[in-house]
């Protein structure tokens, strides 16, 4: 749910974004209400996220030249483009 944010505030936020059109082939879980849709569209404020495990993963083979990260809810997948023997797709646990 949106919590303290109002539907009016959420709509104002969405109208300020350049999100383009809703894809016609959207196959994900569809929101059951406008409130759920707006809650899903809230800014995740990534700049405020913190990783307490960061010290243990800095300057490791998988973290140098990292290009992208993804998850399957069980593992992290990190791609690294180091142009040497560290270049790979790494599969890591949640704790890295």
- pLDDT tens digits for range 22-45: 556 666 676 777 888 778 778 888
Average pLDDT over residues 85-93: 87
Q: Could you tell me which residue, 51 or 4, shows the higher pLDDT? A: 51
Quick check: pTM over 0.75? no
Q: In terms of C-beta distances under 8 Å and separation of at least 24 residues, what long-range contacts does 18-22 make, across chains too?
A: none
- Residue 36's alpha-carbon distances to 1, 17, 22, in angstroms, are 6, 18, 16
Distance CA 42, CA 14 (A): 8
Return the DSSP state at 5.
S
Higher-pLDDT residue of 53 and 82 is 82
Provide the mean pLDDT of the chain. 76
CA distance 2 to 24: 25
Residue 78 has pLDDT above 80, yes or no: yes
């Amino acid at each position: 749910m949106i919590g303290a944010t109002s539907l009016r505030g959420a709509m104002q936020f969405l109208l300020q974004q350049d999100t383009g059109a809703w894809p016609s082939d959207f196959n994900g879980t569809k929101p059951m209400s406008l409130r759920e849709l707006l809650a899903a569209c809230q800014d995740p404020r990534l700049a405020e996220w913190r990783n307490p495990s960061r010290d243990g993963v800095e300057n490791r083979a998988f973290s140098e030249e990292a290009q992208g990260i993804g998850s399957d809810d069980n593992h992290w997948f990190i791609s690294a483009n180091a142009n040497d023997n560290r270049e790979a797709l790494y599969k890591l646990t949640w704790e890295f």
